[in-house]
Structure 1
Amino acid sequence: MSLNAALKETLGLDGLEYRHDLGKDALFREALANDRGRIRADGPDDEPKAYETALGLEGPLVYYSDPSCTGRPVQDTFAVAWPEVEDKLWWKSDFQKFDPDHFGPLLERVAAHLNERGRHLYVQDVHCGWDPAYAVPYRFVGEYATHALFATNMFASGVDVADPESKRWTLLDVPSFHCDPERDGTLSARAVIIDMRNRVGLVLGRADYCGVVKKTMFTVMNYLLPEIGEMPMHCSANVGPRGDGAILFGLSGTGKTTLSADPERELIGDDEHAWTADGVSNFEGGCYAKLIDLDKAAEPVIAAALSMPGSVIENVPPLPDRPLAETDPQDLDLSDNAITENTRLSYPLAANPNVADGARGPHPETIVLLTADAFGVLPPVSILDTRDVMYHFVSGFTAKLAGTEVGVNEPKAAFSACFGAPFMAQKPSVYAEILAEKMKTHRARCILLNTGWSGGPHGVGKRISIQHTRALLNAALAGELDADKVGYDNHPIFNLAMPTACPGVPTEILNPRNTWEDKHAYDVQAEKLRDMFRENYRSKGFDALGIEAVM
């Protein structure tokens, strides 16, 4: 079927010009010439959205999303509640039901809007996943060349999928269409809607943050893979010189990207993966790195990618004393959060110096659940059995610093099921059960690795050194923390198995209570965090989902 016929059948588009599978240079030029929208809260809807730097075509594209959408619009994200999926999907505040009776008429209105405007659209055909056994053909259709360039960076190409038309997903991205909540059944003038039955995604209105193009498809994959008994994961992954694979789950700030970038190990990817019968493989063809306060010396790959042709810098403000066209991208102020804390850089996976062939690797020997405990009470490393894994996986805990008032350093607990709750389309227990089964089948070990504080909470104690964290991780990867190699103590409050020794790590820090001067204060703080875990378990209804409480 021709492209025109396919888009007419799938979306109702008719008589439009499609700029299909343009190269990165062409998309760069198209973005400068044609991408228009709002970039200031009080600005018009026809300002340029994309800009070049002093490097021109040999450097990055700088893009500004709508100021109301500098991250994913989670409160405006939906799935169509078709009867066949309604009981499977995990409905929550950032993934809500959309009335099927509203979806068809809304799609018709969007198509009519585009047909009447008669302007060209950009179409990029890519793949989500490098393994042909599960990879999904992904067709981006949208108004912005920047988004098409982003899709080209972030997804795989050249994957040989059998019968692609029967598996293809299509995303229609239309910033110029503003919803009418009363008429369209949305909550606001923008919406991100996933239709599992017809394999269509809609992104409408002021929802033009680039990450929507990526995370919408990740949510789809998180629905599709469990349907075939496979495991989608929000994690980084790498493989060691003896072919020993590892996956690292973790929320923002826990070290997922930093710890997976090991010069002694090949990188499979840093964010989204599948664990299937064939091993671990990346969903993506690129990286989407945070830029705020980037330490270029510590993150040289990201720093170099700032100047790469075809990369996309998102929402970093221009310098006050010169236009972007006269600015070297290395001179941009990456500490400037005037637009958002969530400044980003999209660049190809190949920019990394040591990528595993085909972005694929073996079954993992080691599973790492990362947390950064700012309460200062969790052990630096704990060994988890199957029950522990399922509990801590669905808990998805880390602790963030409050930072909202001067002098207030009380940490805040953050729980995100499966270390990516907003993107988990099915219920958390589905993923936990698949993870536990795969770990059993492939005899994978699991550790809970704490990259947070020791000797007291943030403001009193010190963050566990990266050297000690790497030593703990390396020991686990080498099997040196296995039961036949080292003894364990049981933490009486958290019921966690703590190794009594680890090469390169002072023995006294392995039990966190030893690092606190005031032991009673430690016990009080630990019980406080334990009760937060218990309340999260209760409030999320994990017991009813078959997850056993372990603390």
Structure 2
Amino acid sequence: MNQVEISNELKPQLTNENMHIQLSVPQLVEKVLARNEGILTSTGAVKAETGKYTGRSPKDKYIVEEASSKDKIDWGNVNRPISEDAFANLYEKVINYLNEKDELFVFNGYAGADQDYRLPIQVINEYAWHNLFIHQLLIRPTAQELGSHHSEFTIICAPGFKADPAVDGTNSETFIIISFEKKIVLIGGTEYAGEMKKSVFSIMNYLLPERDVFSMHCSANVGQEGDVALFFGLSGTGKTTLSADPSRRLIGDDEHGWSPSGVFNIEGGCYAKCINLSREKEPQIFDAIRFGSVLENVMVDEKTRIADYDNGFLTENTRAAYPIDAISNIVNPSVAGHPTTIIFLTADAFGVLPPISKLTKEQAMYHFLSGYTSKLAGTERGITAPEATFSTCFGSPFLPLQPTRYADMLGKSIEEHNVQVYLVNTGWTGGVYGTGSRMKLSYTRLMVQAALEGELNNVETIKDSIFGLHIPLHVPGVPDLVLQPNKTWADEEAYNKKAHELAAKFRENFLSFKNIDPSIVIKGGPIA
């Protein structure tokens, strides 16, 4: 039904009579402008600012501790519990707050392009630009689908409502709370639209494994022969750049499910970083930012309304949200077969990981659980040297279940479908950051291309003496010397010291995992 549906177990209900349900993009743009929530840029995109919070608030995210789900959740620093009473009290306050608003905006859509696994979702927004954002990010229903849409999860976003930590049991004025039992997400105290997107992903990361679907934080594309590739990687590793291949069609850029039938996009849009964006660097993203798109915290010339993507005055985390069909080279619908190749991307500022290496199943599971890349000096306050950072399964902030649940599904899928897995280092070679040089993008593209085309499936390899990785001795178009990192350093003793240092960090990080199959550590991790 095209209506507002919230769990009938909770009181009060929304009684606001001025709810705009399923407004079109032009109608939402008109509302954004009329309500002074944003401005129109020269390309027709809406530009809005998120105020105090220009990124996610991980310390303000909670999962309600409920009988039906509490034994499944991986509780800790990422998944923080909040009581059912605290949730119910906040829910009542938020609903009362929204019932007093002049207008509310409702969008009904889906998460999951595969109709066998999609989740009907309803989003209720205080702001029109938030509703435009989620309209572009979720999968938009057809008129026929809308007639039978029945939401199974409701997201209620009230950025103007601020919690009182002393009374409400929160960490701050901001809260993002998921109740898997009531099937509600409450968001308040933050205007950052990305909290809605990532809440949907967290929900799917809980629900999909229960249906034997591997949920993944990755981009995906498909070649002319129907061969599917997955790209996992944290920020700064080149995931967006390398998966946006003009010779391959994009399935999706960020969130996917891998079912017994194949891969499908969870979203219906893209949420791209746009700091230093240019048509030369990222033509697909640049040209997708047009009427109906949303720009977050991008500086715009007051007179010409031209976006200045190089200006990070408000934040370096400037963002653009647009529907996936704003990109021409896509798979539509966003569903494809089983992957033949998986690429793990890392930007190793220690300069010791090979630019490309083949992984066994155990190594793939090990590096998937590790989710390694480097933070660089100057990127964050207090970082004066390259720092190893690990994000479990390349997406730890959004994983409600035990990490091993996802890793086991990866291992099973690799084995069942004979998938080739590669670790690609887009970081430094010939020395650490500041001494060595960044791996040439042209070389990385050739290595990825060779992997995707199957040219490395049976190539001769050499085993790395410290990490145990299998390094191809030859990649077409890439100098052989580049492939073995120890040979690119002027001082091999310095290389060995730095490599052992990084290997120790991998081992230390792995101590945090529980119930790990010993073979993953023995066969998958560093060997020296």
TM-score bucket of the superposed structures, by smaller chain: over 0.9
**CA distance in structure 2 between the aligned counterparts of 1:167 and 1:121, rounded to whole angstroms:** 18
**CA distance in structure 2 between the aligned counterparts of 1:314 and 1:543, rounded to whole angstroms:** 40
Aligned positions of 1:141-540 closer than 5 A:
141-158=124-141, 168-205=152-189, 207-306=190-289, 308-319=290-301, 323=302, 326-329=303-306, 332-403=307-378, 410-482=385-457, 485-540=458-513
Deviations 1:275-316 (A, max 9, x none): 11121111111111111112330111222233x101111101
Deviations 1:489-540 (A, max 9, x none): 1111111111121211111121110111100000001001001101111134
2:5·2:151 contact (CA, 8 Å) conserved in 1?
A: no
Identify the residue that residue 46 of structure 2 maps to in structure 1: 61
**CA distance in structure 2 between the aligned counterparts of 1:102 and 1:312, rounded to whole angstroms:** 33
Identify the residue that residue 70 of structure 1 maps to in structure 2: 54
**CA distance in structure 2 between the aligned counterparts of 1:440 and 1:211, rounded to whole angstroms:** 34
**CA distance in structure 2 between the aligned counterparts of 1:490 and 1:71, rounded to whole angstroms:** 41
Check 1:544–1:87 CA distance in 2 against 1; reply closer, same or farther (3 A cut). Answer: farther
**CA distance in structure 2 between the aligned counterparts of 1:409 and 1:118, rounded to whole angstroms:** 48
Amino acid in the other structure paired with 1:233: M
**CA distance in structure 2 between the aligned counterparts of 1:384 and 1:146, rounded to whole angstroms:** 44
**CA distance in structure 2 between the aligned counterparts of 1:215 and 1:364, rounded to whole angstroms:** 24
**CA distance in structure 1 between the aligned counterparts of 2:15 and 2:279, rounded to whole angstroms:** 48
Identify the residue that residue 18 of structure 2 maps to in structure 1: 17
Aligned residues with identical type, % of pairs: 41
Give 1:444 deviation, angstroms: 0.8
Identify the residue that residue 106 of structure 2 maps to in structure 1: 123
**CA distance in structure 2 between the aligned counterparts of 1:407 and 1:193, rounded to whole angstroms:** 31
Give secondary structure in 2 for the equivalent of 1:170.
Answer: strand
Check 1:399–1:517 CA distance in 2 against 1; reply closer, same or farther (3 A cut). Answer: same
**CA distance in structure 2 between the aligned counterparts of 1:432 and 1:147, rounded to whole angstroms:** 34
Give secondary structure in 2 for the equivalent of 1:486.
Answer: coil
Give 1:8 deviation, angstroms: 6.9
**CA distance in structure 1 between the aligned counterparts of 2:192 and 2:379, rounded to whole angstroms:** 25
**CA distance in structure 2 between the aligned counterparts of 1:438 and 1:544, rounded to whole angstroms:** 17
Gaps of 5+ in 1: 35-47
Check 1:3–1:527 CA distance in 2 against 1; reply closer, same or farther (3 A cut). Answer: same
Determine if the alignment matches structure 1 residue 107 to structure 2 residue 91.
yes
2:39·2:47 contact (CA, 8 Å) conserved in 1?
A: yes
**CA distance in structure 1 between the aligned counterparts of 2:382 and 2:75, rounded to whole angstroms:** 38
Check 1:527–1:54 CA distance in 2 against 1; reply closer, same or farther (3 A cut). Answer: closer
1:7·1:13 contact (CA, 8 Å) conserved in 2?
A: no
Give secondary structure in 2 for the equivalent of 1:532.
Answer: helix
1:537·1:543 contact (CA, 8 Å) conserved in 2?
A: no
**CA distance in structure 1 between the aligned counterparts of 2:226 and 2:113, rounded to whole angstroms:** 19
Give 1:158 deviation, angstroms: 2.4
2:98·2:126 contact (CA, 8 Å) conserved in 1?
A: no
2:288·2:327 contact (CA, 8 Å) conserved in 1?
A: no
Gaps of 5+ in 2: none
Give secondary structure in 1 for the equivalent of 2:69.
Answer: helix
Identify the residue that residue 90 of structure 1 maps to in structure 2: 74
Give 1:435 deviation, angstroms: 0.9
Comparing 153-162 and 447-456, the one that deviates more: 153-162
2:201·2:255 contact (CA, 8 Å) conserved in 1?
A: yes
2:347·2:425 contact (CA, 8 Å) conserved in 1?
A: yes
Check 1:119–1:163 CA distance in 2 against 1; reply closer, same or farther (3 A cut). Answer: closer
Give secondary structure in 1 for the equivalent of 2:185.
Answer: strand
Deviations 1:238-291 (A, max 9, x none): 011111110010001111111111111111011111111121111111111111
Normalised to the residue count of structure 2, the TM-score between the two structures is: 0.94
2:7·2:182 contact (CA, 8 Å) conserved in 1?
A: no
Check 1:16–1:183 CA distance in 2 against 1; reply closer, same or farther (3 A cut). Answer: farther
Give secondary structure in 2 for the equivalent of 1:414.
Answer: strand
Q: Which of the residues 37, 49, 54 maps onto 2:37? A: 49
Amino acid in the other structure paired with 2:18: E
The alignment of Structure 1 onto Structure 2 pairs a total of residues equal to: 522
